Structure 1
Amino acid sequence: MGRAEERRARQRGGHRAASEGRSSGGQGQGRIRRLFTWRKILGTFFGLCLLGMGAFIVLYMVIDIPEGNADAQEQSSVYKYSDGSIMARNGKVNREVVDLAQVPKEVQRAFVAAENKTFYKDAGVDLKGTARGLLNTVSGKGAQGGSTITQQYVKNYYLTQDQTVSRKFKELVISLKLDQEKSKDYILAGYMNTSYYGRGAYGVQAAAQAYYGVDSEDLEVEQGAYLAALLQAPSQYDWAVASETGKKLVKNRWNYVLDNMVEQGWLDGSERSGMEFPVPENPKGNPGMAGQTGYLVEAANNALKRQLVAEGAVEDAKQADALVDLGGWTITLNIDKKKQAALEKAVKAQLTDKLDPKARKVDADVQAGAVSVDPKTGAVVAMYGGVDYLKHYMNNATRADYQPASTFKPVILAAAIEEQAETQDGEPITANTVYDGTSKRPVEDNGRKVGFTPENQGDVDYGDITVQTGMNKSVNSVFAQMGVDIGMEKVMETAGKLGMNVEKLEAVPAQTLGSMGASPLEMAGVYATLDNHGKKTTPTILKSAEHLDRTVTVPDAVGEQVISREAADTVTSVLTGVVDDGTARAAVREHPLRAGQQVAGKTGTSDNNKSAWFAGYTPDLVTTVGLFGEDDKPPHPQVEMYGAGGEERVNGGGFPAQIWSAYTFGVMEKTSRFDLETSQGAAVKPPPSPSSSSPTPSDTPTEEPTTEAPTTEPPTEEPTTEAPTTEPPTEEPTTEAPTSPPFTPPTIEVPEDSGKPTDRAEE
């Protein structure tokens, strides 16, 4: 064998070895490739498709269109007090079925334009929307959209609102069969007659009467477009109770409906351009919901609807509305019957009996709202929503469109303690920290003026005062600077932890004046969390809810520690000074039924005297009372309350604090003391002001003693909680002279401040 042949032989041997090596190392990969060939993947896919088609054919054959069950489900709901006694019953469902001929053609088309533009052409189902709904149901995501009018009618009339895979398959099959067996007009009429529109109205006829006081045949296209828009979120879009966001959304939806009608050729463009939004009438209400009952039932229903969505029992708020308002529920509220009666009595005696709209027009514009909460459980034990649910539909206890004013100041102090914040000079912020209380003092951030110069009420200059005194007298300049010292982001973060809705609020110094919107219910949660030593306490009106075989789980109202006990207890300690040496002393400290009860609280009066508050608590009960200036004529804008009740101005230390005292001390079973863990102690005594300046000429010593050390502070009017506005002083002067116990309440009235209204907000 020559050399060339030997070389070729060696090469052949090497190739064989390499080939054998590759073969042995790639056996696993080869097997995987053989298992997952394109042919096998496609075969499996088509097999599954055939299996699904076969299953669907079987379902199509075995599922028939059932008898309608909507009428069979009509029942009354029962509402109970916390002790199990009956509060109210809802009557028969408000529904009147009408023929499609009794609905104008343009209005019919408005509903189609709103919900399902392809209604007249489709086969009754939206396969993409249904598939998405099935996927969301299986994955636990809940809400989905995209159902056709036919599918929605099937769900409303033939099935239930349950969110299950089997219900969705049934909905799909029945919708296909119904579309084949019935006309589009039959389906559209059924849909319009079974849908829920809010205000307890089922069907277009009941809705036309509820919102516009007309029969369905007299509806104008603009009104029909609004009713069609309502179906997306009846509770949120009801103009009478909608928030500003809700009103904006329903207007956008209304425009969407009309624009779709133009697009489909159902409405002339020039006619559409001249249309104006048809504001609905105010609700008439169910006679059985008169007085406070309607407010309580509405609040319980809303809480139940939110919980149904939260636990995934329904897909969205629209289905929750339908399920709750259809009836058949037994709902127990946390409302204590005796406390509820006491709160109503207190409002009547301390406010409404003193209002005389015939003598003073402004008296007709005063609205009261109040919420009382057990801080240990979060239970809402009493609620005052307004003069009468049938006369004033908006629940003043839950509305969040008025400013909480100086009731926000404790949140700022809580943030300071929680964050262990320091002043610009590096001094820790405590109750004894000294701030400059000069009115209109420019707020600074590390030597840089931030362009915010808040004015104190009455433009009073307090000079150097402690945080305690600043809280007692509600000095704006002190808390504006404190907010910047802490960092407004931290202040707003603390507000959110305590229970305020701050998601859309800017973290700017002006927020220190309480210029955001908040409800008495929301502020009750903030103060209940402080009272409960920093554990998040969410006011809860719903105790239990049962419906046939469904029981709703009410979440625990007391949650985790959201701020430290030291921070919460320190704020409580400081707030006792507001009652004993500050703006609430006249109405609260000297009340004859107080019997030594320890109280913490804060007053507040907003810009231009449009709202006035007192939020106060004992160890066992938290109650917030708000008074709101609202024009009694539609569209009910916010108005000033100057002169109401014969007072020069309405302030937090007046009617709100008087209502609070009459109620709280009236239901108090025993006196109790706060169990506080704070390095500053309970009921901090404000030391004499570091300022050597003499009192202002308006200071008038009172003849009442105080448990605090005597001060030579300026008047105890509450300063502003708003951006500067020019309003008169609110509270009486409190430069007090010390006396020795025992104390007998004086018979001499404290002189009123003679200051004229200014353009600044109070407190």
Structure 2
Amino acid sequence: MGRAEERRARQRGGRRAAPRRSSGTPSVGAGDGAAGTAPGGRAAARRAARPVKPRKSGIRALFTWKKILGTFFGVCLLAIGAFIVLYIMVPIPEGNAVAQRESNVYKYSDGSVLARAGTVNRESVSLDQVPKDVQHCFVAAENKSFYHDSGVDLKGTARGLLNTLRGRGTQGGSTITQQYVKNYYLDQDQTVTRKLKELVISLKVDQKYSKDQILAGYINTSYYGRGAYGIQAAAQAYYRVDARKLTVQQGAYLAALLQAPSQYDWAVASQTGKQLVKARWNYVLDNMVEQKWLDAGERRAMTFPVPKDPRGTPGLEGQKGYLIDLANKQLEQKLMKDEGISQSQAEAEVVGRGWTITLNIDKKKQAALEKAVKVQLTGKLDPKKRKVDGDVQAGAVSVDPRNGKIVALYGGQDYFKHYTSNATRTDFQPASTFKPVILAAALESGAKTQDGLPINANTVYDGTSGRQAVDHGSKVGFGPPNEDHKDYGPITVQTAMNQSVNSVFAQMGIDVGMEKVMSTAGDLGMDTKGMQPVPAQTLGSMGASPLEMAGIYATFDNHGKKVTPTIVAKAEGKSRSVTMPDAIGDQVISRQAADTVTSVLTGVVDDGTARTSVAANPARNGQQVAGKTGTSDENRSAWFTGYTPDLVTSVGLFGEQPKPPYRHVSLTGATGLLPPPGRVNGGGYPAEIWAAYTFGVTDKAEFDLDTTQGAAVQPPASKSPSQSPSQSPSQSASSSPPPSKSPSKSPSKSPSQSPSKSPSQSPSQSPSRTPSGGPSIENPLNPGDQQQLDGRQPAQ
């Protein structure tokens, strides 16, 4: 090989090839006599000099970029082809919105029929009967691009399909056209097939019908709450006008309702619900301004249009409406969790869909509870004689702690007369019925006093009225007075619970830590979302419902295992059945802590604020009882939540102005109670209702307690003369100033042992109807103080 050839071989990355010997006749050079190469030798040398490429493995050979790209385009073509076939094969079906509506049947626990409810309330109107501005409210709320889109939101639909495949429900955005198709042509099933049908039919509907026809169909088939389907029924249900007379403000509210009808119904909405619907209402109007459908100046002048009170639906009179409303809500919550659907979808799926819903309500217990409220309270109210009597509202929930079943419920005098259920409302303070939660938090966390002593039933605290709570020597700026500003001096936790001594539990809350207290409250079943831990919560200054308090005390009664009160036993639809979750949950506080609270609360009944109404009731017949009274700021609410081993019942009385704006008012003077002080306290009517009901439906039983503390296991050795109901306290609020720390005295006294300052029964603990010795407020905060210290201010 010549030098030039070698150089070229090196450039090609090859090596010098050895001369190939030819088996044939060698070629003769041109005069030098050297042996030459055979024909084709140079080509062979070049091939030998080329680098050898390694062979690809099986996987790399299979997944080349060309194959991947080809596969991708192939799948796309198949998907497009499949969609074309689907588009051709799926027709626009006959509308079935009316056919889907059928009354639900509600039954008592024994199978007897409670009520049939859900008759369709719909009257369709043409779009020209709806003001143009009101039409724009719905477009602004749900689908601003409605007038120029193709009827589908591909991105939202794809997200919905993906979530459905993952088992998370649809949770995808959808246009007005898609919502109309779902309401009128399809059902609420959360399946991929239904979602694909919705997509195809929406495209076809958008091609076949005008935007005005689609919008008219949408607002005439949507569910607005209060049993109203369609804008005409909604206009009458909320504002008592025809759709053609709706204002922009009213239309914006109805459009906002579609997101969560029952949660946003002003008549029953919580404070959170009211805030949310107002925000949604503002969102609708702001979008209208953005779309140039509403003048900005007019928008700024608009005020929220508070809806009218609801009208009663036939078949829901008396307590039936309250029972059915709670049953629907719990079933809706279950569907939302299981199927990943929105609240509005769940409501539309439950109301008037032909369900047979069996409740846990015991027919006999329900009748007994209604009778107890009538005999002990409502039968004595006369609004014509006393204006305050018209302000009294009662609510109660009764729960079996062994299984969490709500066996009886009282929501108000009549569902037609008072739409809001007093059993589930959360806008009144639970007052001193919250004190056991503080003790539970102390016991569960092993908390200690400022002097390092463990907190238990025998721990001694300073019960001086108004004593400033301290945190390791520093005052925290909170010193609530006791009822009637009465001083108790050094007393045990047991006595402080018996007499509901505010100053003791204010200090205990600081000792435990309010974060731990509120965390324990949440574990036990109180809705603490949005609450900031503050000292005033030791007085029960947050909002709570009888349903919540019944669940908390049922958890105490169930030895610390979480009880979530449940009214629905089972629900059966046309093509499915729903099994409700187990009402008994995990151990949220230890058995010893729960049983100690129960033991302490027996002292409230036998030797405290509930003694006259409960312990001395002749129908008691030796039944063991635990419970706690509560009376809130300015006597706006009064409570007794109590329990036997097999039944927990929370009774609340609430002062509410019977006409808009429904402000909270005092109960003082109701039924003719005379000053001083004329107040309704927890040891009065609430405890009397509780006793009349409970002792009529339960049998004698004793608590099975795993504790060495509290009144149930440490009975008083003897009663001091100072514990007589007629004995006045020996000291006034002008007593010597309290120490800066919790007392460090040895907790050697029996829980019921009387301290030297006569802490026990005073005239303020007499029955609330006794003119000579009325009750006292257990939570005497001023409204201004409460707003600063509450953490979640109840609505006024």
- After TM superposition, the score normalised by the length of structure 1 is 0.89
Out of 391, 394, 417, the residue aligned to residue 391 of structure 1 is 417
What are the superposed Cα offsets for residues 649-681 of structure 1, whole Å, 9 maximum, x if unpaired?
01000010010000001112x211111111226
Partner of 2:650: 624
Q: Would the alpha carbon gap of residues 257 and 755 (structure 1) be closer, same or farther in structure 2, given more than 3 Å must change?
A: closer
The answer for unaligned runs of 5 or more in structure 1 is: 17-22, 701-705, 719-728, 735-747
- Give 2:686's aligned residue: 656
Amino acid at match of 2:286: D
Pick the structure with greater CA Rg: 2
> Does the CA-based 8 Å contact 1:716-1:731 persist in structure 2?
no
- Alignment-derived partner of residue 252 in structure 2: 225
Counterparts of 2:326 and 2:624, CA distance in 1: 31
**Which position in structure 2 is the counterpart of 1:192?**
219
Residue from 323, 326, 329 that aligns with 1:296: 323
Q: Secondary structure at the match of 2:145?
A: coil
CA–CA separation in structure 1 for the residues paired with 2:502 and 2:463: 8
Equivalent position of 2:766 in the other structure = 732
Give the one of 422, 442, 446 matched to 2:472. Answer: 446
Identity %: 67
* CA-to-aligned-CA distance 1:482-519 (integer Å, 9 cap, x gap): 11212222211111111111132222222111111110
Q: Displacement of 1:687 after TM fit?
A: 7.2
Q: Distance in 2 between matches of 1:194 and 1:581?
A: 60
> 1:519: which partner in 2?
545
- Tell me, in whole angstroms, the C-alpha distance in 2 between the residues paired with 1:210 and 1:614: 36
Cross-structure match for 1:341: 367
Structure 1 residues 417 and 460: CA distance shift in structure 2, 3 A: same
Amino acid at match of 1:427: L
Distance 2:596 2:487 in 1: 26
Unaligned 5+ residue runs, structure 2? 1-5, 18-50, 731-749, 784-796
Q: Contact between 1:577 and 1:684, CA under 8 Å: does it hold in 2?
A: no
Tell me the residue number matched to 1:752: 773
Aligned residue number for residue 177 of structure 2: 150
Task: Sort the Cα spacing of 1:749 and 1:365 in 2 relative to 1 into closer, same or farther, 3 A.
Answer: closer
What is the one-letter code of the residue matched to 1:541? I
Deviation of 1:44 (Å): 2.4
Counterpart of 1:237?
264
Deviation digits for residues 202-235 of structure 1, max 9, x if unmatched? Answer: 0011101101111111111211111111111111
Query: Which residue of structure 1 lines up, in the alignment, with residue 456 of structure 2?
Result: 430
* CA displacement, residues 170-216 of structure 1 (integer Å, 9 cap, x when unaligned): 00000001111111111111111110000000001110110111111
Counterparts of 1:508 and 1:757 in 2: how far apart (Å)? 18
Q: Distance in 2 between matches of 1:492 and 1:428?
A: 20
| Structure 2 Cα separation of the partners of residues 333 and 714 of structure 1 | 49
Residues of 2 paired with 1:150 and 1:607: CA distance? 52
Partner residue of 2:3? none
Aligned with 1:543: secondary structure?
strand
Structure 1 contact 367–629 (Cα < 8 Å) conserved: yes
The more displaced of 402-411 and 45-54 is 45-54
Aligned amino acid, residue 531 of structure 1: D
Q: Which residue of 2 aligns with 1:367?
A: 393
1:51 aligns with 2:78: yes
Matching residue within 52, 67, 91 for 1:64: 91
CA offset at residue 244 of structure 1? 1.2
Instruction: Tell me the distance in 2 between the aligned counterparts of 1:256 and 1:592.
Output: 59
Asked if the contact 2:252–2:281 (Cα under 8 Å) also holds between the matched residues in 1, the reply is: yes
1:752 maps to a residue whose letter is G
SS of the aligned residue for 2:533 comes to: coil
Kindly tell me: are residues 733 and 153 of structure 1, through their superposed partners in 2, closer, same or farther at Cα, counting changes over 3 Å? closer
**Alignment check: 8 A CA contact 2:723 2:761 kept:** no
SS at match of 2:223: coil
Paired with 2:701 and 2:54, the residues of 1 have a C-alpha distance of: 82
Which amino acid in structure 1 is aligned with residue 80 of structure 2?
M
Label 1:689 to 1:414 Cα distance change in 2 as closer, same or farther (>3 A).
farther
* Aligned counterparts of 1:687 and 1:505: Cα–Cα separation in 2: 42
SS of residue in 2 equivalent to 1:285: coil
Q: Distance in 2 between matches of 1:712 and 1:356?
A: 44
CA RMSD, 1 decimal = 3.2
Residues 1:753 and 1:186: Cα distance change in structure 2 (over 3 Å): closer
Q: Secondary structure of 1:288's match?
A: coil
CA drift of 1:94 comes to 0.6
1:671 aligns with 2:700: yes
Please report how far the alpha carbon of residue 699 of structure 1 lies from its aligned counterpart in structure 2 after TM superposition.
Answer: 3.5
Distance 2:609 2:298 in 1: 58
Q: Distance in 2 between matches of 1:69 and 1:25?
A: 68
Distance apart, 1:428 and its partner CA = 1.4
Question: Tell me, what secondary structure is at the counterpart of 2:765?
Answer: coil
- The corresponding residue for 2:522 is 496
Aligned partner of 2:557: which letter?
A: D
Task: Name the count of aligned residue pairs.
Answer: 720
Question: TM-score normalised to the size of structure 2?
Answer: 0.85
- TM superposition shift of 1:68: 0.9
- How do 1:15-34 residues align onto structure 2 when only pairs under 5 Å count? 34=61
Q: Which moved more, 1:648-657 or 1:262-271?
A: 262-271
Contact map agreement 1:629 1:640 (CA 8 A) in 2:
yes
Which residue does 1:505 correspond to in 2? 531
The equivalences for 1:165-564 within 5 A come to: 165-312=192-339, 315-564=341-590
- The residue type paired with residue 90 of structure 2 is I
User: Structure 2 CA distance, aligned partners of 1:236 and 1:749?
Assistant: 42
Give CA-to-partner distance per residue, 1:263-309, whole Å, 9 cap, x none: 22222222222221111101002131111111011111111111111
Q: Distance in 2 between matches of 1:24 and 1:502?
A: 73
